[in-house]
Amino acid sequence: MLKPHTANTPLACLPHDHSHCVSSALAEADALCARQGTRLTALRKRVLELVWQSHKPLGAYDILGVLSEEDGRRAAPPTVYRALDFLQENGLVHRIASLNAFIGCVRPEHAHQGQFLICKSCHTAIELELPSISQAIVAGAKAVGFVVESQTVEIVGLCASCREAA
Ligand SMILES: [Zn+2]
Ligand SMILES: [Zn+2]
Ligand SMILES: [Zn+2]
């Protein structure tokens, strides 16, 4: 069995004050939308906050469930889907297709393709950003005449804290 690499363990797998993650994600979103001239409406911001409630991808239905319990915000599904589309187009969230769920982006300030390590035990998703992976995919696609428009790589396994607990 491998020894846990505590020094390299991402914050997502360690006990931490998550309110910092949420507030910095929301502040970054405000700044990014201001720079891009897009509008982070109250609903879009609330949906982003819900996606950021943990480091585990959250499904659209879970978001709808919370919103419909909140007073004065009987958000219709299309409204929530449009808010998620907006957040995705602006790089603030990534969609994890295998879980049909969304995760907040840790580096929304520049365009990138997401690579995710998804823990099968606790469902934490850790975002990697390895240009060599994206480049290899683009090169492999190009070799067969395929143009890549977007790529989200999803890798399933066990995270450091679940390995330690096992
Ligand atoms: Zn956190
Ligand atoms: Zn990202
Ligand atoms: Zn885990």
Residue whose tokens read 């889907």: 81
Q: How far is the CA of 141 from the centre of ligand 1 (A)?
A: 35
Indicate the fold that domain 112-166 takes in CATH: Dna Ligase; domain 1 (3.30.1490)
Residue 1 binned pLDDT confidence (cut-offs 50, 70, 90): very low
Sheet holding 58-59, edge to edge: 58-59, 101-104, 93-96
Domain boundaries, the chain: 17-109, 112-166
What residues contact residue 20 under an 8 Å CB cut-off, 6+ apart? Answer: none
Q: What is the pLDDT of residues 45-59, one digit of tens each?
A: 999 999 999 999 999
Query: How many residues in the chain?
Result: 166
State the pLDDT at residue 76. Answer: 80
17-109 CATH: 1.10.10.10
Q: How far is the CA of 42 from the centre of ligand 1 (A)?
A: 22
Question: Do residues 135 and 115 touch, judged by C-beta distance below 8 A?
Answer: no
Ligand nearest to the CA of 54: 1
Quote the CA–CA distance of 70 and 107 in Å, as a whole number: 29
Quote the CA–CA distance of 22 and 30 in Å, as a whole number: 12
Ligand nearest to the CA of 114: 2
Which residue in 123, 78, 74 sits closest to 103, CA to CA? 123
Ligand nearest to the CA of 10: 1
Q: Specify the amino acid at residue 62.
A: D
The model's pTM is 0.87
Q: How far is the CA of 146 from the centre of ligand 1 (A)?
A: 37
Ligand nearest to the CA of 125: 3
Q: What is the pLDDT of residues 50-97, one digit of tens each?
A: 999 999 999 999 999 888 888 565 668 888 999 999 999 999 999 999
